[in-house]
Amino acid sequence: LVKGNLYYYFKNKQDILYHCHVKCIAISLAALDDVSAMGLAPADALRILLIKHIRNITEDPYGGVLLTDLESLTPTQRRRYVAMRDRFEHGVREMISGGIADGVFAPQNIDLAGITILGAINWIPKWYRTDGRMSSAEIANSIADQLIRSLRP
């Protein structure tokens, strides 16, 4: 793919960035739907969702762009993207809430716990290198386990 080809499909750099954002969050939303349909206990569902979300961010070539630079989108693009991201974050909070109801997670401020977990994951593109010592799957499993532990009593 050369520069000329890319601009045949996209209006400009901003448009490309927007489509990267939407593509990446759409994959994580599909994972949310898949995992929700598995009929697992909420705490188990959340662990699998976090693994899929982390692997999406680390394995998708656009993943690094995902969660920063919202400032460079147009207001309409930002609104559309943020609506998708909100649906994902809502799904995460529902699973935390379900885990608390099950007694697997401690009673806690769900909004704060959710944004802390998602913030840790959002930071991954800042340090993740595809040529690092650990595979994306190893990193995803380890971080998901740590973040699930953070919710426990």
> Should residue 25 be labelled a site residue for a copy of itself when binding is judged by CB under 8 A?
no
Report the residue from 116, 130, 135, 137 that binds a copy of itself according to the rule CB under 8 A: 116
The CB-of-109 to a copy of itself minimum distance in angstroms stands at 6
Give the Cα separation of 138 and 103 in Å (integer): 28
Output b/e per residue, 41-51; b: 16+ Cβ within 10 A: ebbbbbbbbbb
**Element holding 3 (H helix, E strand):** helix 3-9
Non-local (6+) Cβ contacts of 18 within 8 A are 73, 74, 77, 81
Q: Pick the piece of the chain touching a copy of itself (CB under 8 A) from 2-10, 13-21, 42-50, 145-153.
A: 145-153
Q: Encoding tokens for residue 98?
A: 């379900």
> Should residue 20 be labelled a site residue for a copy of itself when binding is judged by CB under 8 A?
no
Report the residue from 26, 41, 101, 134 that binds a copy of itself according to the rule CB under 8 A: 134
> Should residue 122 be labelled a site residue for a copy of itself when binding is judged by CB under 8 A?
yes
Give the Cα separation of 28 and 66 in Å (integer): 11
> Should residue 97 be labelled a site residue for a copy of itself when binding is judged by CB under 8 A?
no
The CB-of-30 to a copy of itself minimum distance in angstroms stands at 24
> Should residue 149 be labelled a site residue for a copy of itself when binding is judged by CB under 8 A?
yes
Give the Cα separation of 129 and 83 in Å (integer): 29
Angle at 82 between CA 81 and CA 84, to 5 degrees: 65
Cβ-based nearer residue to a copy of itself, 27 or 54 = 54
> Should residue 123 be labelled a site residue for a copy of itself when binding is judged by CB under 8 A?
yes
Residues that bind a copy of itself (CB under 8 A): 68, 106, 108-109, 112-113, 115-124, 126-127, 134, 139, 142-143, 146-147, 149-152
